[in-house]
A and B are shown apart, each in its own frame.
Chain A
Amino acid sequence: MTKLEVQNIALGYNQHPVVSGLSFRLEPGEMVGLIGPNGCGKTSIIKALSRVLETQAGQITLDGKDLHLFAHNDLARAIGVVPQNPALPENFTVAEIVLLGRTPYLGWLRKESSGDLALAWWAMQRTGTAVLYDRRLGELSGGERQRVTIARVLAQEPQVILLDEPTANLDINHQQEILNLIKGLCREKNLAVLIALHDLNLASQYCDRLILLKEGRIYADGRPQEVITAANIKAVYRSESLVYPHPENNLPVVMLSSKEIK
């Protein structure tokens, strides 16, 4: 049963449309990559899916029910978002931030129960931030803060996770850690995951399916081998490239063509 369905939506700021005529599906247990040049609408789509940005046309449904029909809290329990540059207050501790993820379950006046604390701990362990639990965010590095945000989202126990360029500021080993973590959870908990990535190779290696955007419309939607082709890259990115299958798993690998190097 389709988890999240997007039907023919249009999105924009003021009168300027960024995305139009967009339709796709997210299934549980599937990791979908959202790729395309900067400004093609990746962030706007993620905002629309979490109802932060209102659609100008079309409809988004979760479990068959229109997003607008969900109460704020219920939506927060179902969908978790890891934004691109999340603001994080310097003076809160890691544990306090991760516990904020329990907000949709706690209402306003209930204290955190030991169950909530246990879950927060688990989230911190999975993201490797448990050892930092009482450190203040101001003392952490960019990568550590990113993992804290992911832990916070995990604490929400969502069924859908949306991530906007979560690996942008990380070293290659951390990038792999995070993506391994996300993919593992995707499989383990049967989550529907949509991850916006700018690195085509990471997208190819990790995602079950890719959606390639060009100027606010879907240019291609399919498995990595179908979407990442030299022709598609040329059409969307206007760049000559070489696409070869990875020697170990045959997934497409993108290399810069020497023609582009001047």
Chain B
Amino acid sequence: MYSITNTRIVVAGNGMVGYKFCEKLLSRKKNDQVFQITVFGEEPREAYDRVHLSEFFAGKSADDLSLASKEWYQENGIKLLLSDPVVDIDREQKCVRSHHGHVVYYDYLILATGSGAFVPSIPGVEKDGVFVYRTIEDLEMIRSHAARAKKGAVLGGGLLGLEAAKALLDLGLQEAHVVEFASRLMPRQIDEAGSRTLKNQLESLGLQIHLGKSTQEITGGDCLEGMQFTDGSLLVVDMLVISAGIRPRDELAKIAGLETHPRGGIIVNNQLQTSDPAIFAIGECALAHHMIYGLIAPGYEMAEVVATRIAGGEKEFLPYDMSTKLKLIGTDVASFGDPFIEEPACKTIRFENKAKGIYKRVNISEDGKTLLGGILVGDASQYNMLLQTFKNKTILPPDPEDLILGSRGGEEAGAGVMGFPDDALICSCEAVTKGMLCHEIGENGHHTVDALKKCCKAGTGCGGCVPMVKDIIAGVMKQKGVYVRNVVCEHFNYTRQELLDLVKMAGLKTYGTVLDEFGHGDGCEVCKPLVASVLASLWNESILQKDRAPIQDSNDRYLANIQKGGTYSVVPRIPGGEITPEKLIVIGQVAYKYGLYTKITGGQRIDMFGAHLGDLPSIWEELIEAGFESGHAYGKSLRTVKSCVGSTWCRFGVQDSVSFAIEVEDRYKGLRSPHKLKSAVSGCIRECAEAQSKDFGIIATEKGWNLYVCGNGGSKPQHAQLLATDVDKEMCIRLIDRFLMFYIKTADPLARTATWLNKMEGGMSYLRAVIVEDSLGIAADLERDIQQLIDVYQCEWKEVVRNPELRKRFTHFVNTPEKDPSVTFDTMREQKKAKEWV
């Protein structure tokens, strides 16, 4: 017999969990099932990623955060009613009524109404300038108010409060304060010592932290002017974000007579049923196992449980782990398991490095065998590993302190991610286990993170598990005896290093010949710039000649950095940051003539922004006339060699750092590499040029120079490491020659020197052996190869300015000399600025 069951489902709430429920239900649906789904959402837009809400301030649009488009709902037959909350439930008739008067009948009703910000009843909370932090609309209001505000505060020093406070800083407020009632930050996640470390770290980021403060009143007229505390002190602010916790949205459940908790939350059983078995509650409105789970992973798990049950399967919601890692704040914080358990119930190992702002604590079972919980502040790189060790009750190594200190004997502590059992949860947002991943990789041939994201959604939530997913891919492939090659793209089945060797041996100099010889298809935006970089690193011929112009990344192709709005920036080289008054005047004149915005860069030179494509050649003609050269700010090549003033003026200087910096910059300018290269030279140990944050940095000593390599700023800063001590200038240059050429030849595309070193087997001792001791016997080759590149250097702008054919390419239109009429500017502090994205 063939029968089709038609089930009517109403979902109240189109937040993250409500949406996930729909998605899961569709995927669990069997062929003979028909679900007629109606979703009511109170907010005006389709479901979006609330977890990454703060990225709205970092330039993400509502669209970027969106989890599903209108079309998705349509294609899946889901009726979506937005700006239309459910206002009543008739449990007898089994129907809901919405604000706009829609009445819809259900077989199952899913309450996914989430929670709202908890706003304590402090006098004055209703004033203008007081906000909560929950929806895109909240953030839009905060942004527009912040543009006029100077001093902001956040009430609440928990996970969300700190995120909001960082957002205030990023919005450009002069002061951002965090006011917390408890005596420590993140009281639910970290201990006193952790809070102290975190407080120091946050203060160094520019936040001001007030602990143990109870707010009596929010002062001011219509608009707030300050916060009055019970201890008599006053904090003057012109905006306040309240982040004092969440309040489950159980009002609808209450109206319908469902059982709710006196402190908020719709009470559900292990199947997530409310006191009415036809009504389920999931996400932040549901109180399961006596608690509200204010995190996304348990919310998604709840969606999974209800979707599975409605589709006829069996699943229960079990107590869920609440481990968390704080994101976005500029310093790492994480806690897992039971962070607070004290001796004698456990053994606690603590590690603190005040200078570096690191605090770590792990709690270990009395018998020393398993991990019970812990706290990481300042460095949470071991979080995923520790979390898995805790969740899977993995037996600890004999020296459990290795867990947080890293093993100091050379061997890695623990067996790594491949040592986890198959049911270890790797992606907790999407509930993907290690076993599932291994299956997808090993049996179904999904060998890339992208492929895994598609087939099992791992890594699509908060993204925190992606590094582990990569390790598992490598692990499975290794087990299968497959050597994982990081091949370029679908057009080239080689790694960058292999391709470089092949191109060199074959002596190829154009993209077309490389593609014909070693690739297939037409190429793409991944392999073209990669081959461009390889060709430049091998031969250093003009990047715009032969067929090489259209394979360059857009910035290289126009020898300038493209800006918002489609104009370009111009950065002439100013070696070592030293410049004559005459040249300064020329920069001023050029900027004035072409109406450019000028700014001193972080690299000790001057950037001129807002140049029309068609003006670039004339601008450069004038600069070159005055003796300037390209600064290669657009290329994966040497940027700046910063200097401090050194012994020529400074009373502490022991060597002439400016002269050496200029010499180094002139030597390596124009050198193309897998990623950009930065350097600096300091005149003494005080290190004013910040050489230890550079790809290669030089610091003067009484006896010569110390050479450091593989430092990095950027989002994962890393200090450079000492390669050689007290060497003379000549030796220093030779070591840099070898180092750079070795990097150019062996690094993956777009890997900075720090990343390259981190992946290198044998690490710094291996690198030192190759570069200083010449253990591979290649030092002479490296020196010769780099000298060849240096010998053929030419300023590429000079070439363009003098070559009418090349010059012709710098126009916006091919059929008229007009400039792009869509380019317009705003003004700010008497200079122009790019128009905001629309």
A and B: interacting chains: no
